[in-house]
């Protein structure tokens, strides 16, 4: 069997950054064999300038919205952003399919090897079946009026079954957000068997919490615009959105909370006291937060509470690119106290664990095939720069 040997300036294993004395050895198919000191590596070692990392895991994306790149202006706030999505979502199907293909290619070229992708329809399915990237498909359902709960669930279930036929163990049916899913619809979603991983957009705007605490805020504008009289069925809970809806999520073992821009210590305390879900993952989509709300999540609050953090890109409707490295740059620029090694853990092994792909991806451990990503244009100390780039060097 032929072996491939790589000696970069820095080797990130999925858990720690090793010095340039370390050599990563794989077989010719990319399966990890071992890591050794360079003096024990023998001949035919490839010297690489930059850092080698396991492939990136993008835990939150909307590939189906790729055709909306550049259409919605920045800093509109979430409610106006949603209204823009509803207005522009339907387009020529050929244009949508081409944008999906291009969006996937962009992710692959940026070192992403697996994606937690939100799907409201089956338009991404043909592209995903090509096997270019690994996916966990989150089939998203929404409907805030109890009267349409069964209809919306049935529509979502049809999409879920279409994906489940091909992605048996990597498809879930999930709620969109606290403000867009009725209690009745939450219960229907939670009734689906083997729905072990779930995802929900969480506290992306201050208005979301206000909507649940007092019934006031900008979401009234949203529902007026789409002709829903929420006063017939929505009662303020005097609690945050997260605390209000969590009791309806009984089945998942793992829950990805996406965005978390206005999550508080009180919310975290509530989560930690709630034992019905085994693991919570907090998915940061910092470039999308900047694009929509011009805000960033309380990352140090999450760190100080030892939360499981992962990274997502969100969609091209709310981001300029589908690139985990770009998300890492934004985090490092705005939170320079956070070590690069820690953020890389979020982007690799944590994401793999969240999507239940850590048996294969996320770290350089013998027997795994995580793909190798080379990060170039680093500072002399290994720090990432604004010009740093990532690419897969071994499939």
CATH number, domain 56-361, options 3.40.50.10380, 3.50.50.60, 3.30.460.80, 3.20.20.140: 3.20.20.140
What's the confidence (pLDDT) of residue 141?
A: 98
What's the confidence (pLDDT) of residue 274?
A: 84
Dist CA 150 CA 152 (whole Å): 6
Dist CA 201 CA 374 (whole Å): 31
Sorted by where each begins, the domain ranges of the chain are 3-53+380-394, 56-361
Dist CA 140 CA 124 (whole Å): 13
What does the block give as tokens for 194? 């083997």
> Residue 256: left (phi > 0), alpha (psi -120 to 50), or beta?
beta
Does residue 179 contact residue 142 with C-beta atoms inside 8 Å? Answer: no
Query: Which residues face 390 on adjacent strands?
Result: 375
What's the confidence (pLDDT) of residue 357?
A: 99
What's the confidence (pLDDT) of residue 395?
A: 58
What does the block give as tokens for 208? 């979301």
Report mean pLDDT in 10-residue bins for the chain, 395 residues. Answer: 93 95 96 96 94 99 97 95 86 95 99 98 98 98 95 98 97 97 96 92 96 91 87 89 94 94 98 89 99 98 98 98 99 98 99 98 98 97 96 82
């Amino acid at each position: 069997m032929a072996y491939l040997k790589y000696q970069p300036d820095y080797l990130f294993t999925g858990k720690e950054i090793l010095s340039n004395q370390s050599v990563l050895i794989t077989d010719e198919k990319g399966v990890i064999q071992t890591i050794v000191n360079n003096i024990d590596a023998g001949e035919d070692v490839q010297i690489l300038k930059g850092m080698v990392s396991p492939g990136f895991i993008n835990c939150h994306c909307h590939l189906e919205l790729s055709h909306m790149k550049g259409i919605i202006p920045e800093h509109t706030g979430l409610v106006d952003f949603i209204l823009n999505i509803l207005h522009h979502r339907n387009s020529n199907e050929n244009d949508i399919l081409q944008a999906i293909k291009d969006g996937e290619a962009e992710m692959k070229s940026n070192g992403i090897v697996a994606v937690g992708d939100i799907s409201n329809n089956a338009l991404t399915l043909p592209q995903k079946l090509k096997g270019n990237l690994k996916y966990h498909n989150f089939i998203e359902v929404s409907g805030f009026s109890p009267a349409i709960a069964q209809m919306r669930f049935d529509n979502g279930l049809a999409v879920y079954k279409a994906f489940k036929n091909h992605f048996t163990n990597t498809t879930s049916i999930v709620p969109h957000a606290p403000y867009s899913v009725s209690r009745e619809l939450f219960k229907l979603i939670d009734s689906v068997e083997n729905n072990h991983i779930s995802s929900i957009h969480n506290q992306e705007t201050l208005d979301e919490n206000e909507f649940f605490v007092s019934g006031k805020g900008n979401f009234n504008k949203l529902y007026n615009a789409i002709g829903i009289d929420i006063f017939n069925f929505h009662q303020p809970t005097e609690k945050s959105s997260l605390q209000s809806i969590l009791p309806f999520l009984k089945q998942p073992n793992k829950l990805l909370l996406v965005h978390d821009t206005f999550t508080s210590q009180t919310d975290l305390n509530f989560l930690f006291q709630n034992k019905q879900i085994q693991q919570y993952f907090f998915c940061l989509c910092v470039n999308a937060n900047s694009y929509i709300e011009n805000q960033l999540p309380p990352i140090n609050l999450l760190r100080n509470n030892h939360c499981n953090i992962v990274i997502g890109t969100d969609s091209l409707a709310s981001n300029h690119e589908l690139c985990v490295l770009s998300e890492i740059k934004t985090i490092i620029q705005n939170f320079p106290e956070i070590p690069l090694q820690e953020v890389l853990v979020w982007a690799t092994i944590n994401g793999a664990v969240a999507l239940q792909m850590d048996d294969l991806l996320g770290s350089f451990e013998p027997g795994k095939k995580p793909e190798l990503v080379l990060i170039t244009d680093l500072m002399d100390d290994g720090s990432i720069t604004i010009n740093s780039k990532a690419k897969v060097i071994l499939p």
